[in-house]
Structure 1
Amino acid sequence: MQLIRVSLELCEPLFFATKEVGAMYITEPFVGNYALAYATGIEITTYKRKYAVSYTEYLPGTGFYCTPAKFKKFGWTSESFNSVGESRYLLMDKNNYKSFPEEKTRAANIPQIGTIKMIASESRAEFYVLKNTNDALPKYIRLGKFNTKARLDFEEINYEIKAGYFECFTLLNPADLPDLQIHSFRSNPVKPVPLLESLKATGKYINSGDISLPYGMSYCRRLLNAN
């Protein structure tokens, strides 16, 4: 199994609303690993045009695993907007917009006004990929609400598997973790799963110098085991 350190650099501003403060929609400086999984090469078409995505159905068994990404060097840029509410379907009805014609809700033409706070272009993030396939990772991917273009650079890392106490400073998805004796962590509340940081735990782990990662991570591992 290969361990690859991935450096991500934004070619354009990145936006997805991880925090809403009044009329301001803020992009926090990290990217969830489920978003990265789709962006870096899972060939899926059947989930499109569905109202919800089943991560437990599509993500496991892909042959590779990526951790969430954390921006190491970044800045923010803001833009204001004034628009009607966004939905999958809009219908003009008596000079009013309706989201779905079958919904028995009163039509409204109320503009949505606010500010989006985005991660600026040329910001850099880092994450790790564990893979046991020969499939090459893409050089460029697209992320976020506006399909922001980002460039990826790769570095393969030699590692060994150990057991015992370790500290992990990489962002982690708690739904993907193996069985560990967890001592402490810091949580970043985002959807669909809060991301853990500064994990201190005891168990099997991957070690390469100052890098330590839990051994045996896989997409939706705890969710699947619970079922």
Structure 2
Amino acid sequence: MKAYRLEIRTEGIVRGAAREIGRLVETGSYISNTSLYYALGISKSRYADTLGKPTYTEDTEDQKDIYVAPARPVNETKYTNLLTTVSGNKYAERNLSAQDPENEVADKNFPKVGTEKVVTSGNRFETFLIAEDDIELPKYFRLGKKRGKCSLEIEEIEIEKKNGEFTSSHPIGAYDTGLEPKGDLLTRKIRPAPLILQARYKGNYYELNYGENEKAVLPGDLEFLKQKR
């Protein structure tokens, strides 16, 4: 069993859609592991989405021996706001006729404008990867909507498997463990799946040791979207 600590640094603007309110699209301070499986090249997605539905479980079927946790911020996340003339989750808007009832700005001489709250360069995030064997990851990769550039530092760390009552100390996907929380539950709602930031469990767990007496504690049965398979 291998374990790695990954530190992600944003090298430019990174966009996401953790929350959408009207014409505001907000990038969250956590990075979902759904994004990381694709961004790090562990799983492959279709070049064009013609089905109109997620295929996360199918795309990760061959990677059950690799678990990447969601990433949390190392420092205070820095943002900037951008004005955009298209929705935050689109590259283009339909060119509607002025007579089309869906055209909200037909009688106005200005484009439809929204706001994107995006992560700026220089932000740092950390996460952990657990795998059966050695794994190679890219030093640079693209992340989020419109593919913002990020760099990656990888450190192999010590991993121990234990059993008993424990409190998880790093975010996991809400569907990534079969263990039931016993208390001390903290969650964060983001798309496409909510996060468990902390919870108390009983069962097998991993203790990951790194740095100077630092450690992360995670459930011992982690599998991406375990409850959805």
Give the TM-score range, shorter chain: 0.7 to 0.9
Question: Which segment is superposed worse, 49-58 or 121-130?
Answer: 49-58
Match for residue 102 of structure 1? none
Structure-2 change in CA distance of 1:191 and 1:167 (3 Å): same
Alignment partner, residue 65 of structure 1: 67
In structure 1, the partner of 2:53 is 52
What is the aligned-residue RMSD (CA, Å)? Answer: 2.5
Give the stretch that moved more between structures: 134-143 or 42-51. 42-51
The CA deviation at 1:166 is 1.2
State the Cα distance separating 1:222 from its structure 2 match.
Answer: 1.0
Structure-1 residue corresponding to 2:83: 80
Equivalent positions of 1:1-227 (< 5 A) are 1-46=1-46, 48-50=48-50, 51-62=52-63, 63-73=65-75, 74-83=77-86, 106=101, 108=103, 110=105, 111-209=111-209, 210-224=215-229
Contact in 2 for aligned 1:19/1:25 (Cα 8 Å)? yes
Identity %: 25
- What TM-score, normalized by structure 1, do the two folds share? 0.84
1:41 Cα deviation after fit: 1.3
Q: Contact 2:169 / 2:198 at 8 angstroms: preserved in 1?
A: yes
Q: Answer yes or no: is the 8 Å Cα contact 2:78–2:123 preserved in 1.
A: yes
> Which ranges of structure 1 fall in alignment gaps of 5 or more residues?
97-104
1:189 offset after TM fit, Å? 0.9
- For the structure 1 residues 106 and 138, does the alpha-carbon distance in structure 2 shift closer, same or farther, using more than 3 Å as the test? same
Question: How far off its partner does 1:45 sit?
Answer: 4.7
Moved more, 44-53 or 128-137: 44-53
Letter in 2 for 1:222: Q
8 Å contact kept, 2:179–2:202: no
Secondary structure, aligned partner of 1:31: coil
Higher strand share: 1
Instruction: Label 1:92 to 1:192 Cα distance change in 2 as closer, same or farther (>3 A).
Output: closer
In 2, distance between residues paired with 1:141 and 1:113?
30
Q: Residue 178 of structure 1: CA displacement? A: 2.9
Question: Which segments of 5 or more consecutive residues in structure 2 lack a partner in the other structure?
Answer: 106-110, 210-214
Q: CA deviation at 1:180?
A: 4.1
Residue 41 to residue 117, structure 1, CA distance change in 2 (3 Å): same
